Amino acid sequence: MSESWITYLLLCADRKIYCGVTNNIEKKLAAHNRGIASRFTRARLPVTLLATGRAMGKAEAEAFRLGYRIKRLPREKKLAVLKEGSAKRVNRGPF
């Protein structure tokens, strides 16, 4: 059985935005907040889930391609994507 892969955005304690890919967002978010998911977020705890987005298919490669495109965007463009509603916004807090 194949699982859907998603791309997600996190807001770190220092207001930086982290983009990642997973097939289990609850498990990955918990790992980020325990400091074991990424070196980037480990130094910026706690993190809050901002948004999730699904690539056109369920394939892991498609989710990573979407993540790569998002990572290349400047912060302002990432925030614009959230405001436009192109990604499923999770947290309505300030960013």
Tell me: the pLDDT tens digits for 28-70? 999 999 999 999 999 999 999 998 887 666 688 888 888 888 8
Using DSSP, state whether 29 is helix, strand or coil: helix
**φ, ψ dihedrals at 83, nearest 5°:** -65, -35
Q: What is the pTM of this model?
A: 0.80
Rg of the chain (C-alpha set): 13
Q: Which domains does the chain have, with CATH numbers?
A: 6-89 (3.40.1440.10)
Q: State the Cα–Cα distance between residues 68 and 13, nearest whole angstrom.
A: 22
Q: State the Cα–Cα distance between residues 70 and 9, nearest whole angstrom.
A: 9
Task: Extract the tokens encoding 47.
Answer: 């993190």
